A and B are shown apart, each in its own frame.
Chain A
Amino acid sequence: MTSQLNVDTIVDKAGSGGSNVKMANTSTYVSDGGSATQNTVQGLCKAFVVYGEDTVIDAGSFNMASLTDSATGQTHQNFTNSFVGAESYTVAISCIPGTDVAERPRLSSCLAAKTITQNEEVDTSTDRDADQFHFSAHGDLA
């Protein structure tokens, strides 16, 4: 029999803390407009990090084991939990450039366990560390 639980708010058992919910990967939710139902777990952000030019995490991270500064403007984002495969996820990247410098972040490589990104100065096409780099990954975890 299909089960359904109707709730307004989900909190942990104590009722005062966070939402410590373990969710099966087949869980679904009713859409914002109420007309569709789709998978909850596939809609979750699986990793994010915000870091500065020194590759030190500025504003928190999630599912990020470490960052590797492999060259000027080049960073490895090493996941704690890997994705199913190299083609099983997508990323969103952006940067805050240095003063009076136009920069563009780009994807260098995607692997199941890590992503490699580069940040490039537009005028010279040379790699350059961004003042701040924003990264998120979305897809199917292993």
Chain B
Amino acid sequence: MASQLKVDTITGLTTAGSISVTGEGNSTTTNLQQGLLKAWANTTADGTTLQDSFNISSLGDTATGKQAFNFTNAMTNAAFSGSATNGDSTNPDGLFFANVSTSRVDGESLQFDNGAFGDNPQRIVVAGDLA
């Protein structure tokens, strides 16, 4: 019979922020917390609206092509990983991370044809350790 356990919060017994789960291949265990994305967001080109997001407290339109993503819960350090994707199919511009800190990361959209910054919808993900 399938068992069901209903709880609101699962906490590590030895260390609160460390729970192991068995890997898909059944041969290893991996850390649950470290395997989760810590933030993601989808924005409009003008940098004023979060279409949808997770762990983002606010969005800042800092300059043309530049958007600041402020975290609700901060990261442990600024050496986290992630990915940034330009969301406009008509402008194949590159989107890069900048001004990375424990509480914020910026997305900067650079136009390939002229090297200038340009407004584009931005889609980012952040992976790493939360504080």
Contact = CB atoms under 8 A, between A and B. Distances in A.
B62 interface: no
A44 B88 CA distance: 25
Given A88-B52, A90-B42, A32 B13 contact: no
Contacts of A9: 19-22, 29
Interface string A6-49: 11111111001111011010111111111111111011110000
A38 B130 contact: yes
A65 B5 CA distance: 30
Contacts of B34: 32
Q: How large is the interface on A (under 10, 10 to 19, 20 to 34, 35 or more residues)?
A: 35 or more
A3 B7 contact: yes
A5 B11 contact: yes
A106 to B, nearest CB: 5
Interface residues of B, number: 57
Residue from the set B32, B36, B73 with the largest chain A CB neighbour count within 10 Å = B36
Contacts of B6: 3, 24
B85 A32 contact: no
Contact of A138 (B5, B12, B51, B125): B125
Given A27-B10, A29-B10, A107 B89 contact: yes
Interface string B60-104: 000000000000111010000001011111001010000000000
Contact of B73 (A7, A26, A31): A31
Interface in A98-142: 104, 106-110, 118, 120, 122, 125, 136, 138-140
Interface of A: 2-13, 16-19, 21-22, 24, 26-40, 42-45, 84, 87-94, 104, 106-110, 118, 120, 122, 125, 136, 138-140
Interface of B: 2-24, 26, 29, 32-34, 36-38, 40-42, 51-52, 54-55, 72-74, 76, 83, 85-89, 92, 94, 112, 123-125, 129-131
A16 B124 CA distance: 37
B16 A44 contact: no
Given A3-B8, A4-B9, A29 B131 contact: no
B17 A34 contact: yes
A86 to B, nearest CB: 9
B52 to A, nearest CB: 5
Contacts of A107: 85-89, 123
B10 A7 contact: yes
Contact of B8 (A19, A28, A35, A43): A28
